[in-house]
Structure 1
Amino acid sequence: MTERNRSDSPGREPVRRGPVAEVRAFFDAALLQPTERNYDETPAQRLRRLIVVAATVVLGTIALGLALAIPPGDPRFYLASLGVAGVWIVGALVSGPLHLGRGRTRAGTTSRGVLQGFILGAMLLAVFLAGAFVIARIPLLRTPVEQLLDHVRHGSLGLVALVTVVGGIAEELFFRGAVFAAFSRRFNLVGSTVSYAASTLFSGVPLLTFAAACLGLLTAAQRRVTGGVAGPITSHLTWSLGMLLLLGPVLDLGG
């Protein structure tokens, strides 16, 4: 038997890759190689989704701006934030079918993309925390971030964490579920990312809009690969809960 035939035998050991090749294989599987699926919609379904999405974006953007305008420590903030999440969830469900999706692993099998989502969310978190260490030394940028953190400092961390989880799931259901599906394949990644970033404009915090653009681009790439929201939800929650718990200490350390 030749060397080539032995390497093709069913009982062969898996090919071992170096660290660089492993990282490349991970990103290819998690962000670049879409799985096969058929989620085609009729023109009537697409039109309905577009109408619902447009109306929901307007309502949700206004609601988010009003929620963030509530003074820190005011109990109304929690109810208002859950109300914003409710707008996203209703819009997502009314717009049409949603899918959990399936991603391709670096080994060639398929999964929901949850582990990939966790790893990608943690990577994005690390980048933002490193950036926060720099921002801590720039008062013009640090002040609006501190104002957002006041909702944690003057309120209940448990309630804020709950709102963060519910809001993160709601945003992914709507923006990576409904909004992504409302755009054509040519524009769905950019369109859903821009829509998500635009929804934060009334917050008055430019860095929040920047964060939404970065997170939106990452999760939209996952949505394009997996065809669903399971991976994006995991990335979003990993990043947002990490920022909730670690951003304040990092700012204090950097300052």
Structure 2
Amino acid sequence: MTREFAHAAGLSARRRRVAAVAVAGTGLLGASFSAAPDSTEFYRLTLATAATWAAGGHTPDSGRGERPIVGPVLIGGATFAVFYGCALIARRIPFLRKAISRVLRYADRGPTPRVLLITLANGAAEEVFFRGAVYSVAGRRPVLVSTAVYACTTVATRNPALVLASVLMGTLFSLQRRATGGIQAPMLTHLTWSTLMLQCLPRLFR
């Protein structure tokens, strides 16, 4: 009984810490998307967001010896191909074109290496927090809960295209976390997908 009580108390404390980090990170994320593209404020806020996710994150040990590399990278490429196909349609729909263009202006107006760096830093940090810390305290439905928290956080960007992407990709990343027991697979998929999106999507909306 004492051991169970200690476990419950520890889990409760971890959940409070995760909730506090989620609130702080959400605030920083929203502020970063209010900053001007290629501004010092934008870079500071996005790096602060990544640092917050990383500091509040958790890197689980899969315990299964499963550390896939090729598969997650291929999944990232395949997912990009699906999104690229959807973008070809979305750019013909004014509402969606406007939403996506608002995101891509940050890539268009900033130096590519710098934007790529903060994109990858945030992608990696998000996996450490959402598929690491949030997933580990999510209880019986970690895929659903971690994806919901991820999507709710993205609402702070006030961009429907990003919110939709967070639901779809968050579900995929969480399923990878469940399948492998760790965050290496979702992180590799996330970074591959983000890199391809950043490099190839902006030209469709110019």
Give TM-score, length-normalised by structure 2.
0.92
Structure 1: which 5+ runs fail to align? 1-40, 104-109
- Aligned AA for 2:181? G
Q: RMSD of the alignment, in Å?
A: 1.6
Which of residues 59, 75, 92 in structure 1 aligns to 2:24? 59
Does residue 1:228 correspond to 2:182, yes or no? yes
Does residue 1:143 correspond to 2:104, yes or no? no
- Aligned AA for 1:132? A
Structure 2: which 5+ runs fail to align? 1-5
Aligned-partner Cα distance in 2 for 1:100–1:139: 45
2:133 is matched with which residue?
Answer: 178
- Aligned AA for 1:245? Q
Does residue 1:206 correspond to 2:160, yes or no? yes
Shift of 1:102: 6.3
Structure with greater helix percent: 2
Aligned-partner Cα distance in 2 for 1:92–1:73: 27
Shift of 1:100: 4.9
Deviations 1:181-217 (CA, angstroms, capped at 9, x unpaired): 0111x31000000100110112111010010111110
Secondary structure at the aligned position of 1:202 is classed as helix
State whether residues 25 and 53 of structure 2, in contact with CA within 8 Å, keep that contact through their aligned partners in structure 1: yes
Deviations 1:205-243 (CA, angstroms, capped at 9, x unpaired): 101001011111001001011111111100100111111
- Aligned AA for 1:72? P
Aligned-partner Cα distance in 2 for 1:102–1:148: 38
Aligned-partner Cα distance in 1 for 2:66–2:136: 21
Aligned-partner Cα distance in 2 for 1:116–1:102: 19
Which of residues 60, 75, 78 in structure 2 aligns to 1:99? 60
Change (3 A) 1:211 1:132: same
Aligned-partner Cα distance in 2 for 1:233–1:55: 23
State whether residues 73 and 155 of structure 1, in contact with CA within 8 Å, keep that contact through their aligned partners in structure 2: yes
Larger radius of gyration, structure 1 or 2?
Answer: 1
- Aligned AA for 2:194? S
- Aligned AA for 1:239? W
Aligned-partner Cα distance in 1 for 2:121–2:61: 17
Shift of 1:244: 0.5
Aligned-partner Cα distance in 2 for 1:241–1:206: 21
2:147 is matched with which residue?
Answer: 193
Which of residues 191, 198, 204 in structure 2 aligns to 1:237? 191
Aligned-partner Cα distance in 2 for 1:211–1:49: 28
State whether residues 59 and 87 of structure 1, in contact with CA within 8 Å, keep that contact through their aligned partners in structure 2: yes
State whether residues 108 and 202 of structure 2, in contact with CA within 8 Å, keep that contact through their aligned partners in structure 1: no
Which of residues 53, 67, 70 in structure 2 aligns to 1:112? 67
Aligned-partner Cα distance in 2 for 1:102–1:223: 12
1:155 is matched with which residue?
Answer: 110
State whether residues 107 and 202 of structure 2, in contact with CA within 8 Å, keep that contact through their aligned partners in structure 1: no
Change (3 A) 1:160 1:102: farther
Which of residues 11, 36, 52 in structure 2 aligns to 1:71? 36
- Aligned AA for 1:99? P
1:45 is matched with which residue?
Answer: 10
Deviations 1:48-67 (CA, angstroms, capped at 9, x unpaired): 22011111111111110000
- Aligned AA for 2:136? A
State whether residues 127 and 187 of structure 2, in contact with CA within 8 Å, keep that contact through their aligned partners in structure 1: yes
Aligned-partner Cα distance in 2 for 1:68–1:122: 26
